[in-house]
């Protein structure tokens, strides 16, 4: 794994993550033998609008049970599992963080989902043959990737011709710089945002054709409209994405709110297709 990714990997490497989630479930009175996707949803869907967005993207993707889909930057696998459960497709998730992949595997075992598997690796060096997957699913990972073209070309390489790739991505906007920290980065050394049109150009250069391109910034802004500046000790729920990236999550959410309101970040969803040969 390239050493320049180490600080990003460290950011996404909390201690004892699986056990902390299990303790949280316990405190909430959940029975581990009958745990559901919904029980995990407060902690395992680490993207703007969480499960509501996942369900909309599943409808957009039109993946079918015979397909094998690659989830690039899967985190602890919340949307990976939801995608498989709802469509019946087989899904392989990859992520840079070994801590996240270990947790993803153990949660998936708890749910006895045999069509979902995980590997720890970089999205820039996927350990798969050309044309291995029927489609790709990638939710809010691009922000940590400096070389977008290398990542997107690598993604395009592993899809079969005619395959569809779903992207749900935070991009830059008219104004810079960002307020830090944000949920995906402690500081500017880990955050690489392109304005939406430049991100779209990179997709095309990597070999994709754009089938759907929707600006979701207004929805993101509404989702964060009530977030206020944190005061005093953090008031954290039993389960939440702070378990993934630290107790300063309220400051990160507040900065995301400001960045959205001040047109420093935007949110897009896209369906990109690898042309049939």
Inter-helix orientation angle 78-87/98-110, to 10°: 40
Nearer to ligand SAM, 78 or 172 (CB): 78
Q: Which of 39, 45, 51, 154 binds ligand SAM (CB under 6 A)?
A: 45
Q: Which of 37, 58, 136, 141 binds ligand SAM (CB under 6 A)?
A: 141
Q: Which of 42, 46, 67, 165 binds ligand SAM (CB under 6 A)?
A: 46
Window 49 to 108, contacts with ligand SAM (CB under 6 A): 73-75, 78-79, 95-97, 100
Nearer to ligand SAM, 61 or 145 (CB): 145
Q: Is 224 in the site for ligand SAM (CB under 6 A)?
A: no
Residues sharing a CB contact under 8 Å with residue 119, sequence separation 6 or more, in sequence order: 92, 93, 94, 101, 127
Least distance to ligand SAM, CB of residue 72, Å = 7
Q: Is 191 in the site for ligand SAM (CB under 6 A)?
A: no
The residue with its CB nearest to ligand SAM is 75
Nearer to ligand SAM, 4 or 233 (CB): 4
Candidates 16-24, 25-33, 40-48, 155-163 — which segment interacts with ligand SAM by CB under 6 A? 40-48
Task: State the pairing for strand pair 116-120/90-95.
Answer: parallel
Count residues near ligand SAM (CB under 6 A).
24
Q: Is 144 in the site for ligand SAM (CB under 6 A)?
A: yes
* Residue 266 · residue 215 · CB < 8 Å: yes
Q: Is 193 in the site for ligand SAM (CB under 6 A)?
A: no
Give the interface with ligand SAM as residue ranges (CB under 6 A): 5, 8, 12, 45-47, 73-75, 78-79, 95-97, 100, 122-124, 139-141, 144-145, 184
């Amino acid at each position: 794994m390239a050493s320049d990714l180490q600080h990003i990997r460290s950011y996404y490497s909390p201690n004892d993550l699986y056990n902390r989630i299990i303790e949280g479930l316990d405190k909430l009175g959940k029975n581990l033998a009958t745990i559901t996707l919904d029980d995990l949803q407060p902690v395992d869907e680490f993207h703007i609008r969480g499960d509501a967005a996942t369900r909309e993207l599943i409808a957009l993707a039109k993946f079918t049970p015979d397909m094998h889909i690659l989830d690039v930057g899967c985190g602890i696998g919340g949307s990976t599992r939801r995608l498989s459960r709802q469509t019946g497709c087989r899904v392989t998730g990859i992520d840079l963080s070994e801590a996240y992949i270990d947790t993803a595997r153990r949660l998936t075992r708890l749910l006895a989902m045999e069509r979902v598997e995980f590997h720890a690796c970089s999205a820039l060096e996927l350990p798969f043959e050309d044309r291995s997957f029927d489609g790709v699913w990638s939710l809010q990972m691009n922000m940590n990737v400096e070389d977008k073209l290398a990542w997107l070309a690598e993604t395009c390489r592993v899809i079969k011709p005619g395959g569809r790739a779903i992207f749900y991505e935070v991009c830059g906007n008219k104004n810079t710089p960002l307020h830090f920290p944000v949920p995906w980065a402690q500081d500017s050394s880990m955050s690489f945002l392109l304005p939406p049109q430049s991100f779209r150009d990179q997709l095309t250069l990597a070999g994709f054709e754009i089938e759907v391109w929707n600006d979701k910034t207004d929805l993101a802004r509404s989702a964060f409209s009530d977030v206020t500046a944190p005061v005093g000790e953090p008031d954290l729920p039993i389960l939440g994405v702070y378990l993934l990236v630290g107790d300063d999550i309220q400051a990160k959410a507040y900065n995301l709110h400001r960045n959205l309101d001040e047109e420093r970040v935007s949110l897009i969803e896209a369906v990109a297709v690898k042309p049939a040969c």
